[in-house]
Structure formats: C-alpha cells, structure tokens
Amino acid sequence: MIKIKNLHKKFGKLTVLDGLDLEIDKGGIFAILGPNGSGKTTLIKALLGMVIPSKGDISIDGNSVLKKWNYRNELNYLPQIANFPANLSVIELIKMVKNLRPKTPNEKELIDLFGLNEFLNKKLGNLSGGTKQKVNLVLTFMFDSDLIILDEPTTGLDPIALIHLKNLIKKEKKSGKTILLTTHIMSVVEELADEIVFLLDGKIYFKGSVEKLKKQTSQTNLEHAIANLITKQNA
C-alpha cells in the first residue's frame, strides 16, 4: 500500500531522514518507534505532504504522492500536536471539520464513547490536555478511510480512554484498515502492533513483529529489546 524509496529530509544542516526505505502492506497495525527526535513525525508528515522530502519518493497504491493532494481525502490523520482554535467550542470545531471533508461523518458514537457530551459547548482553550486529545481522536475517527495515521494518539489519555482507543484501533483493523501509529507506551505496541518499524539515524533500523525483535535481541521484555537495539547501534 505504501512504498517509500530512498527518502531524505534535511532541516538546514540537520539530516533527519537519510535514505529511508520502507514498505507497508495493506491491512494491519504498524507501530513506528524510535527515540525522541528520530524523525517519526517528519516521516509521517512527508507521507501527508506536509514536509517536502529533500530526495526520494513516496507512493500510495502505486501512485507517487509528491505534489499531489487528493489522496489526503482517503486517509485519516491524528496530529501529534493539535493546535485547536482556543475560542471555538468543541461542537463548533467538530461541525467545522465535518464541513471541510467530503465524507459522511459518524461522530455521535465517538462523542459518547469518550464521554465528551458534557464538554461540547466548552471552549477548546479551557479543556485539559487529555480532553483535547479525546476531541482530536473524535475528529480523526469520525470518517471512514482505509489508511489511518496516528501520531502519539495515547498522549494524555486516562486509562479508560486508553482502553477505548485500543478497542477502536482493533475494530478498524478487523475491517481491513491499515493503521500507522507512533507511541511511547510499549504495552500498546505489544497489544496492538502486527509489526514494529524502528527508526534510528534516519533509517529503518528494524522492521518485523514484536516476537522477531525479542528473538533477535534475546530479550523477553519489549522495552529491553528496544533499548538493546539502540545500544547495539551505538556500540
């Protein structure tokens, strides 16, 4: 479904992506992991056309996405940092996003699921971080798309909301969707990910299942397996 070839991205002198190759098959949950600043968000933004690669190509379903925008209608994206207009209420923002996208939304169920009914008329600027993240999730999941890209969806969520989010992601997978997500919560990776994609030094340093990573690093604990990958690289 997604093919990334020889992708390079520099910000000034800083090389963030350095000849990255990656193929993601259709269907399943892919966890993009890597230390802070390793380029996960940059990779995701390149996929969305929000970051222009210095070199290389990205294609979705066989078509290059560079300089295109229509393909964005066919994917759902949750940004890592949602800069919502502080003066809008939750319901105003939901209505606005509904009007922006040429798709049929299904927001009611999600508003109920995340317990947002009592917040609908509150201004976004007055919400706690976790509640804002729940709004962010409603905006992302209320449309039906084959590709779902979630940049740190777990940030700020309480345990109940985290369970709802995990169930939501599992449900999407069951209906054949492709889900890319980044997270620092290893229990989420263990529970959800069919494959780990590990980014380090601007390249894909590991791609495979949690089991494969544990075997390769001779670790039984995922956090230790990841730490082992990083220290081996630096040795």
Q: Where does this chain bind ligand ADP (CB under 6 A)?
A: 11, 14, 16, 34, 36-42
56-115: which residues touch Mg ion (CB under 5 A)? 80
Q: CB 201 → ligand ADP: shortest distance, Å? A: 12
Q: CB 51 → ligand ADP: shortest distance, Å? A: 7
Judged by beta carbon, residue 39 or residue 53, the one nearer Mg ion is: 39
Question: From CA 37, how far away is CA 21, in angstroms rounded?
Answer: 18
Q: CB-side exposure of 225: number of CA atoms within 13 Å? A: 22
Instruction: Note whether 41 binds Mg ion by CB under 5 A.
Output: yes
Strand, helix or coil at 169? helix
Alpha helices in 76-198 (DSSP H): 90-100, 107-113, 129-141, 159-174, 186-192
Judged by beta carbon, residue 41 or residue 140, the one nearer ligand ADP is: 41
Instruction: Note whether 183 binds Mg ion by CB under 5 A.
Output: no
Judged by beta carbon, residue 12 or residue 102, the one nearer ligand ADP is: 12
Q: CB 115 → ligand ADP: shortest distance, Å? A: 29
- DSSP strand pairing (195-200 vs 28-33): parallel
Question: From CA 76, how far away is CA 139, in angstroms rounded?
Answer: 9
> Per CB under 5 A, which region of 36-44, 82-90, 99-107, 133-141 contacts Mg ion?
36-44
Structure letter (DSSP) for residue 22? E
85 binds, among ligand ADP, Mg ion, none (CB under 5 to 8 A by kind): none
State how far the alpha carbon of 143 is from the alpha carbons of 15, 28, 48, in Å.
35, 18, 17
Q: CB 50 → ligand ADP: shortest distance, Å? A: 10
- DSSP strand pairing (14-24 vs 2-11): antiparallel
- Tokens standing for residue 222: 């995922």
Judged by beta carbon, residue 38 or residue 136, the one nearer ligand ADP is: 38
> Per CB under 5 A, which region of 41-49, 70-78, 103-111, 226-234 contacts Mg ion?
41-49
Question: From CA 112, how far away is CA 20, in angstroms rounded?
Answer: 40
Q: CB-side exposure of 151: number of CA atoms within 13 Å? A: 18
- Residues whose CB is less than 8 angstroms from the CB of residue 162 and which lie 6 or more positions away in sequence, other chains included: 154, 188
Count the site residues for Mg ion by CB under 5 A. 3
Judged by beta carbon, residue 31 or residue 111, the one nearer Mg ion is: 31
- Tokens standing for residue 154: 């777990």
145 binds, among Mg ion, ligand ADP, none (CB under 5 to 8 A by kind): none
16 binds, among Mg ion, ligand ADP, none (CB under 5 to 8 A by kind): ligand ADP
Q: Which residues bind Mg ion (CB under 5 A)?
A: 40-41, 80
